[in-house]
Chains A and B, each alone.
Chain A
Amino acid sequence: SQKIEQNSEALNIQEGKTATLTCNYTNYSPAYLQWYRQDPGRGPVFLLLIRENEKEKRKERLKVTFDTTLKQSLFHITASQPADSATYLCALGGYQKVTFGTGTKLQVIP
């Protein structure tokens, strides 16, 4: 069955460092992959989309990579700030829907 795995343990990093979050998937060939941010009690907020034929995408302090051979995406936040503390969700894109992973909680420590 399809599986999307994100590190369930919280990631704690020092302010100013680069946070790297991982999304691995199996039994899936997504046409694209998305990353969202979710704050407690709120809906997911779209951050970035990367297509299967793209290796890397950047937006301001965010960078996403997509390796369809390894079936993995990495999400980087450079120069992290306490305001970046949230849960980050990867979502694999199908034609009619996206399917979410469990999310990784990021805590940026001042």
Chain B
Amino acid sequence: EPEVTQTPSHQVTQMGQEVILRCVPISNHLYFYWYRQILGQKVEFLVSFYNNEISEKSEIFDDQFSVERPDGSNFTLKIRSTKLEDSAMYFCASSEARGQGHGYTFGSGTRLTVV
């Protein structure tokens, strides 16, 4: 069963530092997403990405956030200057198609703790 792989599984960082969360989506998927889940809360959409550009982003995804697909396999989320409230589980997901097609395959997440 193909998997979405995320690294690291846990990241602790000091407030104000930059972090990069990494994801390897499923190889034949074309659409990529980042979601986050603050402890005890719902899974929230951050950004969708297709054809090397952002398709849609939420209001959470402000100028501190950026995404990149630097090569044919990796998909990264960068937070430039972390805040305490960025502490959450960050999930990467990918799908074969958008719209009415397909479920998303999620990774196991990166738990980000900002201290």
Contact = CB atoms under 8 A, between A and B. Distances in A.
Contact of A43 (B44, B45, B108): B108
Contacts of A49: 101-103
Nearest to B40: A102
Contacts, number: 59
A100 B43 contact: yes
Given A41-B89, A41-B109, A102-B42, 18 more contacts: A36-B103, A43-B4, A43-B91, A43-B106, A43-B107, A46-B105, A46-B106, A49-B103, A51-B100, A95-B98, A95-B99, A96-B98, A97-B33, A97-B56, A99-B45, A100-B44, A101-B42, A103-B42
Interface residues of A, number: 25
Of residues A51, A93, A101, which shows the largest number of chain B Cβ atoms within 10 Å of its Cβ? A93
Contacts of B33: 97
Interface of B: 4, 33, 35, 41-45, 48, 55-56, 89, 91, 93, 98-109, 111
